[in-house]
Structure 1
Amino acid sequence: MGRCHYDAATQLAKSPPLFGSADHLAGIAAECVIKAMLLDFFGSTQDTPLGIPYSPAIRNRPAPSKTQAEKARKASEHGHLPHVWDQLLLLANGHRGATVLAQIPQQNPFREATDEWDVAHRYRDSGQISAQRVKRHLAAARTVIAAYQQAK
C-alpha cells in the first residue's frame, strides 16, 4: 500500500497546485511502510477490533496504576507520523533492525521544528506547502520503502 501512495505522490509533486496532496501522500506512504515494518519485523500486532496496530513490548510494560496502564496502551499504538517514525527507531532491533536503522535517518524528517508533518495537513491550502518540503518527504518515503525491501 505504501508504494502506491508514494507513486501517486511523485506524480502529484510535478504540479505546484498539487503540492499539498503530494506531501500528504508522501507522509501516508512512509507511515504505511513503517507500520508494515513494525508488524512484519519488530513484533507489533494488529488484533484489536479497530485494527490499530500496536507494540505489545510497549503495551505490556509493568504499570503501577490504571492511569499508567492507559498511558502505556496509548503510547503503544502505531498512529500517524511523526510519532510512528520515532516508534520504529525505538523498536527496531536484531539483524533486521540493524539493516533498517542503517538506512533511515535517525533524525525524523517528518518532525521538523518549524514544519512538522501532520495528517491533518491534508486540509491545508497547497500554496502553504513548499517544493522543498515535498521533496524532503518524498525522499524520506523512498528511504523507508528501500529499507523495508532490504530487510525482507
Structure 2
Amino acid sequence: MLGLKQEDHFASAAGRHFRDADYLRDDGRLPAADHLYGFAAECATKSLLLRFTEVTMDPKPGEDAPSSKPWVENPDPDHHRPLIEFGHVNELVKEVALLAHGRAGASLHAALEGDLRVFRRWHVKFRYYDGGYAQADVVTRRRTAAQNILSLHEQAQLNRKLP
C-alpha cells in the first residue's frame, strides 16, 4: 500500500465497504449494511474530489502534518469559513455544493447531488443506535445511490474526466 495516493485508498475503501454492505444486506443485517453504504459513497466521493478538483490532503495553512480530511480554500471570499473540509457523507451534499462555482466542481456537484441527498439523514453516530432506523426501503435507496456514485467514480477514472 506504500506509494498509493489518498484518492487510491479512498477508492479501494469505497469498493470494500460496498461489497461488505451487500454481504450484510443479503444476511438481513440492514443497520450495518446501511452504515457501510454511507461509507462507500463517502469514500468514492472523496476520491473524486481529490482527483478532479482542487481539494487536497496537504497540510492546512499554518500546519505541518497532512490533513486528516480532504479540504480546499473556500472559493467564496465573503463566506465566514476560510476552508471547506469534507466530512461524512451526510455533510457532503452541502460541502460539494460550495465547490459548484468552478467547471470541475460544477460538474461533480451536478453528477453527485441527487445521490448524495439520499444520505442527508444518514449519520456516523447511528453505529451506536439500536438499528431500528434501518428500514429496508431506505437501505435499498442508499445502496442504489452508493452504487451510482461508485459507478461514476469508475467511469471518471476510465475516462480521466467527469461527465
> Counterpart in 2 of 1:51?
68
What letter corresponds to residue 78 of structure 1 in structure 2?
F
TM-aligned CA distance change 1:145 to 1:100, over 3 Å = farther
Structure 2 equivalent of residue 98 of structure 1? 107
Given that 1:9 and 1:21 are in contact with CA atoms closer than 8 Å, whether structure 2 keeps it comes out as yes
Q: Which has the higher helix share?
A: 1
> What code does the residue aligned with 1:72 have?
P
CA contact (8 A) 2:53 2:104 kept: no
Match of 1:148? 153
CA distance in 1, matches of 2:46, 2:108: 16
Structure 2 unaligned runs (5+)?
1-12, 60-64, 158-163
Ranked by relative contact order (alpha carbons within 8 Å, sequence separation 6 or more), the top structure is 1
Q: Deviations over 1:9-42 (max 9, x none)?
A: 01101133x2111000000000001111111101
Worse-superposed segment, 140-149 or 84-93: 84-93
How many Å apart are 1:63 and its aligned residue?
A: 5.7
Amino acid at match of 1:84: L
Matched residue, 1:62: 77
TM-score, with structure 2 as normaliser: 0.72
Q: Which residue of 1 aligns with 2:20?
A: 8
Amino acid at match of 1:101: A
Q: Is the 8 A contact 1:12 1:19 kept in 2?
A: yes
8 Å contact from structure 1 (residues 99, 151) kept in 2 = no
Q: CA 1:88–1:24 in 2, change beyond 3 Å: closer, same or farther?
A: same
Q: How many pairs align? A: 138
Q: Distance in 2 between matches of 1:146 and 1:97?
A: 18
Structure-2 residue corresponding to 1:72: 82
Counterpart-to-counterpart distance in 1, 2:112 and 2:42: 16
Instruction: Select 2:35's aligned residue among 19, 24, 27.
Output: 24
Amino-acid identity (%) = 30
Judged with a 3 Å threshold, the aligned counterparts in structure 2 of structure 1 residues 107 and 52 are, in CA distance, closer, same or farther, namely closer
The answer to whether the aligner puts 1:127 opposite 2:152 as a matched pair is no
Distance 2:133 2:116 in 1: 23
Tell me the TM-score normalized by structure 1.
Answer: 0.77
Give the drift of 1:103: 6.7
